Structure 1
């Protein structure tokens, strides 16, 4: 309970002090459109469940939102084909415009929505603890007895602690985005699925189907669970030859599809696949009716669609993003495509040093077991399942390398990784090497907690000491890893309370896009000081990453950081770069 209370307090703190981040404008606008107009198309690259939950307080308490209409129309621009598919996400500028009309009201309602969504992070903490407790609490001498040892709860707490106090979990867990929600749902789904595969009870099959449907309703990332589950079902059937497995799997699938369809209001469920029309195909046409369905003449065109139409439409739109690529940055390199190693690299620089130390200690334990000829392996079904999900997350992120700019996409790996790295604690070592490994894991947890508290509440832009620390994070990653707009209020307050730093220029394009500068009078005032004699410059770390010429034109050391996302420089007249 102490851990849950601490995590909840930290999540609430970040939810309160963080400005809306880049993606939240789109999520908020799309969520409001969902509640007031039943709009399923806006932000359809993610299912509507999480944004609906995150905007429920605004829907209940902000009546004026029902009448909000953006002051500009992008439809004609989209149909003209002048913009690429990646850049035509109208929910983002519309959400920014909504924020600019009432920043304080927007932030207030966003805070309550963030608190609701942060329950996913807390639920994942409970799930990690429970799974670690049952997984490693089994006695080593009689694993089939399912008798919990006195160490089971302690091991579960260690695994849960690595999750609960991760800086990126605290940061993303308190935003109305999908990443922590799908992570928690995938974890709970895997826990319930493993229970069903062991027990083969009908109620466990039903629960497994419901939790898989919940995961698939949070984000398309959860689709990677489907082939893994299918493989385990086939293995279980082949090993037992029990016909009820087929019936239970069918029940679970039916419940999964039902849960997926609920947030969509069953829109398009049962529609022949040959009649489906995808928004990406219609983008360059005059009207959607003039675009022929890509499946119109396919052999499966008459098969009823088992999921909502916009569910498939969103997946198609997301794949278009992967194919076209987006500006990517890592390790000082800019490109329009990604790298297979990006997410492994992002973990290397973002995970706290203590967590990396614990991972290294656990790997040493594994290597020692491999070379121990007297060792007899005893791996449970749950451990195999956890390992399969972890390996699949690494594989899918390496394969989907169309762009590399969002560290948060690897977050679903975290709880499964933490459940694996605490495995050595389940063995009661009497040897010195064994005690060193276990001590290393516990020290790693303590160091993780200290590092997380030390950087609070700037978790979103945190980097470990191995990478050079948070102050040097912009040399490694950008976007959601450095400046995602979380410090807009902080930067505005700093400018207002430091009038001696004039003339002053602000370069911050990632967090301060269309419609956002207008919401801050502090930023608007900077225009009068935008002249060749400027001596002071505030730069977003994301802009430093994306613009090497800007970075090289500045002094080597900044005067001071502003939060974890911006830096203050004093520059000579000739060194002032142009505003981008």
Structure 2
């Protein structure tokens, strides 16, 4: 009878272990997806995807490509869901409002179904991670890679939301994997598969615009002076296959938009971004040249670039800047990666340097291939003016896990006792990072103060994306509150949850009971919902005086409840006088 080690090496044993880990992630994801309130951007993604199924149009909100929105909306086609048939709007939240109004009883269930479709993509990404880790290293390395994936609070947070961030993470991994196969085996099969996956990535999120450059760099990293590969391929054959890759990608991208508006001339557009605006300044005869891409894709990319080029208030470590922080994403990784993962990264770096001269597991080529997307995406995001959350660099996570996972291959308590114990000690606590379920979105590691103190470092989608309105509803009902002061950082109208509220006063406190979102406490400007559904613009730090007071309760780490008495207000006023300045104390 084969022993346990031999059984785990078989295909059946391998996929049993991988499947068990991904099943745990899927179960936790279902629990989280069922619990959380519809988050900020999620509020309109599902309705827009459903509208595209109904109308065949993709111009309701061009800021994101249509694939994942329509993917999430597939289950709704088999329900009695209604879109509400809203008119075109410059505010995408209007589509969410119409969807909510058309489905007042079942809308939360519909969003849950949409979230389940993203969870399926997370499982598929975990399967691909297992395949690639096993091909690169060994089954034991694949186990560690998938364990890191399934136990990651940052991955699980985005896998349970109907947004594009988890999906583009999966397509980044799939595109680079297929590009790796294509570089090793220059065949028509892998050229066309890589092109098709690249096309799917392009209709998932505009971040995928980086992938063609990554594929080119990857090709040279793997093939340049590589004596282990076939190098007698003709330039014509290589160029033909790259042409097939590009053509298949182009076809999938256009098919994703049903070829709508493809081949319109440059003169048919009026671009806003600096990159595309130059096209409108070309001579008239050149502007008659058709652009072989869907109109909605080009307009959406142009709009996104235009928005990303504008100054936007960014928060990091209690400080605000209009042009972002170059250290933003490095700090986000320091605060939001579990310490066990951080330690494993350091151990992987040490192990690579120790064995770089005689270890094929992590050759320079493999290292370059894995870290090209990590470095490129992180650098570009770090110099962006629009920094709203760790989710913008979520695609680097699978590559970091692939860098770590070879550690499992060298576990040997006889030859490498200390090393083996260090790896095991780091791996065992990984599930503890999921103890905050369903509040994975608000996860911060221990040295950063945990989610209770996350707002001292980062806000927005790192901590507070409107996910805890359901907890406020429970709090209001349990305490029989008829009215409450509320400033909510979310797009779901609180009045739709039968919460009676009024907006809190700005700049100066007043006695009363208040529920304030963490992002607004730290000063984020926002267009908040009024009880009648209209908007009120809260300026930068208009509610910052709440930082002076200790909250009465914290709801899911993203909403603080304050009960201010006249004595509390007098104490604040006295502190302002003592500070000898005309604003509230920090």
CA distance in 2, matches of 1:565, 1:121: 25
- The match for 1:224 is 210
- The match for 1:201 is 187
* SS state at 2:54 partner: helix
CA distance in 1, matches of 2:543, 2:427: 38
CA distance in 2, matches of 1:96, 1:431: 63
CA distance in 2, matches of 1:7, 1:303: 49
Does 2:515 correspond to 1:524?
no
TM-score (norm 2): 0.82
- 1:238 to 1:510, Cα distance in 2 relative to 1, 3 A: same
Aligned equivalent of 1:271, options 252, 264, 270? 264
- The match for 2:86 is 69
Deviation at 1:312, TM superposition (A): 1.6
- 1:130 to 1:377, Cα distance in 2 relative to 1, 3 A: closer
* SS state at 2:447 partner: helix
Aligned equivalent of 2:376, options 392, 416, 421? 392
Aligned equivalent of 2:427, options 433, 436, 445? 445
Does the 8 A contact of 1:461 with 1:470 survive in 2? yes
* SS state at 1:355 partner: helix
Task: Report 1 or 2 for greater relative contact order, CA contacts < 8 Å, sequence distance ≥ 6.
Answer: 1
The one-character-per-residue Cα deviations of 1:488-519 (angstroms, maximum 9, x if unpaired) are: 112111211123xx5863433312x4x60220
Does 2:384 correspond to 1:405?
no
- 1:210 to 1:258, Cα distance in 2 relative to 1, 3 A: same
Deviation at 1:327, TM superposition (A): 2.3
Does the 8 A contact of 2:348 with 2:407 survive in 1? yes
The one-character-per-residue Cα deviations of 1:523-565 (angstroms, maximum 9, x if unpaired) are: 22668999x9845332211111226574554555433321121
Deviation at 1:379, TM superposition (A): 0.9
The one-character-per-residue Cα deviations of 1:80-107 (angstroms, maximum 9, x if unpaired) are: xxxxxxxxx4212332343255343211
Superposition CA RMSD, Å: 3.2
CA distance in 2, matches of 1:568, 1:37: 43
Does the 8 A contact of 1:356 with 1:444 survive in 2? no
Give the count of matched residue pairs: 527
- Listed as ranges, the matches of 1:24-63 within 5 Å are 24-62=42-80
* SS state at 1:477 partner: coil
Unpaired segments ≥5 residues, structure 2: 1-18, 226-230, 525-540, 573-586
- 1:203 to 1:555, Cα distance in 2 relative to 1, 3 A: same
Deviation at 1:567, TM superposition (A): 2.1
- Listed as ranges, the matches of 1:350-389 within 5 Å are 350-369=336-355, 379=363, 381-389=365-373
Deviation at 1:63, TM superposition (A): 5.3
CA distance in 2, matches of 1:528, 1:537: 7
The one-character-per-residue Cα deviations of 1:412-455 (angstroms, maximum 9, x if unpaired) are: 010001111223333466798x5444443443333221221x11
CA distance in 2, matches of 1:63, 1:29: 10
CA distance in 2, matches of 1:424, 1:249: 35
CA distance in 1, matches of 2:42, 2:362: 45
CA distance in 2, matches of 1:375, 1:15: 43
Deviation at 1:259, TM superposition (A): 0.9
- The match for 1:184 is 170
Deviation at 1:295, TM superposition (A): 5.4
The one-character-per-residue Cα deviations of 1:224-276 (angstroms, maximum 9, x if unpaired) are: 12112123446778752513221211111111111111120111222333433
- 1:160 to 1:38, Cα distance in 2 relative to 1, 3 A: same
* SS state at 2:484 partner: strand
Does the 8 A contact of 1:273 with 1:295 survive in 2? no
- 1:411 to 1:232, Cα distance in 2 relative to 1, 3 A: closer
- 1:445 to 1:510, Cα distance in 2 relative to 1, 3 A: same
Unpaired segments ≥5 residues, structure 1: 75-88, 137-151, 282-290
* SS state at 1:195 partner: helix
- The match for 1:153 is 139
- The match for 2:6 is none
- The match for 2:399 is 416
- 1:337 to 1:60, Cα distance in 2 relative to 1, 3 A: farther
Aligned equivalent of 2:489, options 510, 514, 520? 510
- The match for 1:86 is none
The one-character-per-residue Cα deviations of 1:122-150 (angstroms, maximum 9, x if unpaired) are: 111111111111111xxxxxxxxxxxxxx
- The match for 2:239 is 246
- The match for 2:158 is 172
- The match for 1:545 is 522
* SS state at 1:104 partner: coil
- The match for 1:495 is 476
- 1:456 to 1:313, Cα distance in 2 relative to 1, 3 A: same
Q: Indicate the larger mover: 384-393 or 255-264.
A: 384-393
- The match for 1:461 is 442
Does the 8 A contact of 2:179 with 2:219 survive in 1? no
Does the 8 A contact of 1:194 with 1:381 survive in 2? no
